[in-house]
């Protein structure tokens, strides 16, 4: 599956080699002559700039945006903060989209690598840059997928249940009764909050509830579910 990069994203990612080029030019100082090996100097600084941007992109994925880190990087590489910012955002988008869409299984590893290389071909990077980009993607793909997996919305989930069995012997209106009741407090976790629900029922309803839940569990052992579970593994 190919990634389609919008024009804006391509412009952001296009900042990356420009960043390297600008850094290289400033680094070379006032030497007017087009130095020997100037092309390798250029590509080396592009690679360091790219390494820096890659690191910033991964930090942003793990911990959220860090404008101060971008500023320090901008000062170190001698480039505009905006170019760094756009480059980082472009890289973040590229990495999340590729991790999201191009899962790898043992059979599809080559396909997803080829897809990635085809997708970034349109950016017109140099070969070393393309290789480092691919390496960055492959190294961090699993981690990015686990981070993306945690971003799904969550329903309240079970935390614990406290219960109590009481017997009502008498009340103001009626003496000499026997009325058993089960009181439960259900603790639920939702997004790091804990809520609780108090429920009360008589034993007959509780037994019915247990029977319904066991029927639901029993459904897993039916042929239909078994077939699906076997095909998912």
**Contact residues: another protein, CB under 8 A:** 162-164, 169-170, 172, 175-176, 183-185, 196, 198
39 vs 183 by CB, closer to another protein: 183
Q: Shortest approach of another protein to residue 133 CB, angstroms?
A: 39
31 vs 172 by CB, closer to another protein: 172
Distances (CA, A) of 85 to 74, 80, 81, 114: 9, 9, 6, 28
Residue 13 CA to residue 49 CA, distance in Å, equals 12
Q: Shortest approach of another protein to residue 162 CB, angstroms?
A: 4
Token digits for 118? 């085809």
Residue 102 CA to residue 79 CA, distance in Å, equals 33
62 vs 164 by CB, closer to another protein: 164
Q: Shortest approach of another protein to residue 175 CB, angstroms?
A: 6
Residue 130 CA to residue 113 CA, distance in Å, equals 12
Using DSSP, state whether 46 is helix, strand or coil: helix
Q: Shortest approach of another protein to residue 186 CB, angstroms?
A: 11
Q: Shortest approach of another protein to residue 172 CB, angstroms?
A: 6
Q: Shortest approach of another protein to residue 143 CB, angstroms?
A: 24
Are 49 and 76 in contact, with CB atoms under 8 Å apart? no
162 vs 202 by CB, closer to another protein: 162
Residue 103 CA to residue 37 CA, distance in Å, equals 40
114 vs 170 by CB, closer to another protein: 170
Q: Which residues of 60-91 are buried (b: 16+ CB within 10 A; e: fewer)?
A: bbeeeeeeebbeebbeebebeeebbbbbbbbb
Strand blocks (E) in 13-54: none
7 vs 198 by CB, closer to another protein: 198
Helix (H) or strand (E) holding 48: helix 38-63
82 vs 162 by CB, closer to another protein: 162
Q: Shortest approach of another protein to residue 83 CB, angstroms?
A: 47
């Amino acid at each position: 599956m190919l990634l389609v990069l919008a024009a804006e994203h391509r412009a952001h990612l296009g900042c990356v080699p420009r960043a390297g080029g600008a850094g290289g030019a400033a680094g070379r100082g006032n030497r007017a002559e087009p130095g020997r090996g100037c092309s390798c100097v250029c590509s080396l600084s592009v690679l360091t700039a790219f390494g820096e941007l890659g690191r910033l992109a991964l930090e942003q994925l793990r911990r959220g945006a860090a404008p101060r880190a971008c500023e320090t990087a901008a000062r170190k590489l001698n480039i505009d903060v905006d170019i760094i910012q756009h480059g980082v955002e472009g890289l973040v988008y590229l990495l999340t989209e590729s991790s999201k869409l191009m899962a790898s299984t043992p059979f599809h590893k080559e396909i997803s690598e080829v897809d990635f290389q085809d997708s970034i071909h349109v950016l017109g990077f140099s070969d070393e840059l393309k290789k480092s980009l691919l390496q960055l993607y492959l190294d961090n793909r699993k981690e990015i997928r686990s981070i993306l997996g945690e971003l799904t919305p969550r329903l309240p989930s079970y935390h614990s249940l406290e219960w109590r069995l009481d017997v009502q012997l008498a009340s103001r209106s009626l003496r000499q009764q026997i009325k058993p009741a089960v009181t439960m407090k259900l603790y639920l976790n939702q997004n790091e909050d804990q809520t609780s629900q108090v429920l009360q029922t008589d034993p007959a309803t509780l037994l019915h509830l247990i029977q319904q839940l066991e029927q639901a569990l029993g459904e897993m052992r039916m042929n239909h579910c078994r077939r699906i579970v076997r095909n998912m593994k």
